[in-house]
């Protein structure tokens, strides 16, 4: 649905602020998920060599607030699955951000709103 021009200045301000807030929330969530993804990648990078050299080595994994004792062989596959799930979530959020940003740009054109840096 194409955006429509706001009827009043107050309406335009409210719509503008809503778009900015939604984009800011998405950007914050993307940052949080990127941090989680980096942490998972670091742990996987550390455990990968141990999977072949010392597969029975003990490691600990935090599951739902409980620290669980496992072996490297047990942890790596589930950690890889979690890493892949986080990557998919990040990709989805990034696509949502791009879509919302494009919507915002379209609305600004229709409403005749220009940002200070433009």
Residue 88, in any domain of the structure? yes
CB distance 89 to 95 below 8 Å? no
Domain contains 92: yes
Q: Is residue 74 part of a domain?
A: yes
Mean pLDDT per 10-residue segment, the chain (118 residues): 71 91 98 97 95 93 92 94 98 98 91 72
114 within a domain of the structure (yes/no):
no
Q: Is residue 77 domain-resident?
A: yes
Structural domain range at position 42: 9-108
pLDDT at residue 117 in the model: 63
**Overall domain count for the chain:** 1
pTM of the model: 0.83
The pLDDT of residue 118? 52
We report the CATH number of the domain holding residue 72 as 1.10.287.370
- Residue 12's pLDDT is 85
The answer to the question of residue 99 being in a domain is yes
pLDDT at 54: 93
Residue 97 falls within a domain, yes or no?
Answer: yes
Q: What is the pLDDT of residue 101?
A: 96
Burial group, residue 102, by CB count within 10 angstroms (0-12, 13-18, 19+): exposed
């Amino acid at each position: 649905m194409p955006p429509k021009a706001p009827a009043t200045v107050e309406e335009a301000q409210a719509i503008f602020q809503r778009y900015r807030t939604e984009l800011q929330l998405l950007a914050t969530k993307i940052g949080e998920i990127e941090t989680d993804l980096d942490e998972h990648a670091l742990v996987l990078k550390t455990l990968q060599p141990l999977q072949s050299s010392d597969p029975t080595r003990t490691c600990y994994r935090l599951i739902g607030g409980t620290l669980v004792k496992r072996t490297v062989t047990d942890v790596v596959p589930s950690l890889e699955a979690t890493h892949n799930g986080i990557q998919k979530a990040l990709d989805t959020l990034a696509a949502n951000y791009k879509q919302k940003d494009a919507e915002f740009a379209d609305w600004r054109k229709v409403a005749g709103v220009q940002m200070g840096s433009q």
